[in-house]
């Protein structure tokens, strides 16, 4: 009887030890969680400078992911201010197709800026300091930027800073059309009134 109790106890002890190991093992962190944590760190940095936090821009995040995927096979380079890419993406091949995939109108990217960073193994603290303690900091310190999109692939992380203006919102073609339609409507009204008044004056 005692032997049977021992036999049952061994599997139970093994199960408990295995469960403890699983609990204590570090859990893998998803890319999305890494990106959210980076944005939170950037916003903490901005808050310390009495600047408004950056809101999450989904379209810019889509574009950042596409760019990071393109950069994924490239070797790491030091982070310097000159690595910053204008929002119109002149140095990036396939940029127009990225914009199309993310439903972004090219005219809404002009005031934005693209900030790529490469850190081996994407150590979170080092990724953050590559934004806050390098030449990129001047962009984070700029109150014109109100939103951000974050993407990552392999060792590369890309942050895109956006504005709340038509030229930097990274909006879709439909949004741009709605923003412009009141002005177009007013111009049409002026033309029609001019024609009517001109007809009456004859």
Domain that holds residue 108: 31-171
> What percentage of the chain exceeds 90 in pLDDT?
66
Rounded Cα–Cα distance for residues 174 and 52 (Å): 28
Number of domains in the chain: 1
Query: Which carries the bigger pLDDT value, residue 22 or residue 79?
Result: 79
Name residues whose C-beta falls within 8 Å of residue 79's C-beta, 6 or more positions apart in sequence: 117, 118, 130, 131, 134, 135, 136
CA 26 vs. chain centroid, Å, equals: 26
Query: Which carries the bigger pLDDT value, residue 154 or residue 31?
Result: 154
Q: Provide the pLDDT for residue 197.
A: 52
Q: Is residue 82 part of a domain?
A: yes
Q: Is residue 24 part of a domain?
A: no
If you average pLDDT over every residue of the chain, what do you get? 82
Lowest mean pLDDT among 171-175, 192-196, 198-202: 192-196
Q: Is residue 162 part of a domain?
A: yes
What is the CATH classification number for the domain harbouring 105?
Answer: 3.40.33.10
Q: Is residue 152 part of a domain?
A: yes
pLDDT, tens digit, for every residue of 165-180?
Answer: 999 999 997 554 444 4
pLDDT, tens digit, for every residue of 11-30?
Answer: 555 444 434 443 444 444 45
Q: Provide the pLDDT for residue 173.
A: 76
Q: Is residue 14 part of a domain?
A: no
Q: Is residue 190 part of a domain?
A: no
Q: Is residue 69 part of a domain?
A: yes
Q: Is residue 54 part of a domain?
A: yes
């Amino acid at each position: 009887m005692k032997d049977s109790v021992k036999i049952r106890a061994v599997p139970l002890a093994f199960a408990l030890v295995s469960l403890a190991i699983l609990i204590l093992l570090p859990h893998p962190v998803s890319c999305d969680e890494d990106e959210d944590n980076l944005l939170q760190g950037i916003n903490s940095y901005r808050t310390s400078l009495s600047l408004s936090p950056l809101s999450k821009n989904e379209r810019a995040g889509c574009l950042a992911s596409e760019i990071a995927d393109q950069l994924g096979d490239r070797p790491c380079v030091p982070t310097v201010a000159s690595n910053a890419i204008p929002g119109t993406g002149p140095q990036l091949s396939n940029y127009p197709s990225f914009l199309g995939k993310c439903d972004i109108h090219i005219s809404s990217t002009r005031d934005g800026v693209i900030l790529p960073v490469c850190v081996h193994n994407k150590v979170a603290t080092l990724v953050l300091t590559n934004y806050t303690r390098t030449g990129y900091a001047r962009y984070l310190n700029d109150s014109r930027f109100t939103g951000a999109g974050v993407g990552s692939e392999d060792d590369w992380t890309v942050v895109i800073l956006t504005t709340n203006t038509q030229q930097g919102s990274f909006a879709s073609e439909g949004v741009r059309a709605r923003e412009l339609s009141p002005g177009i409507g007013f111009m049409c009204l002026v033309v029609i009134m001019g024609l009517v008044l001109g007809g009456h004056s004859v």
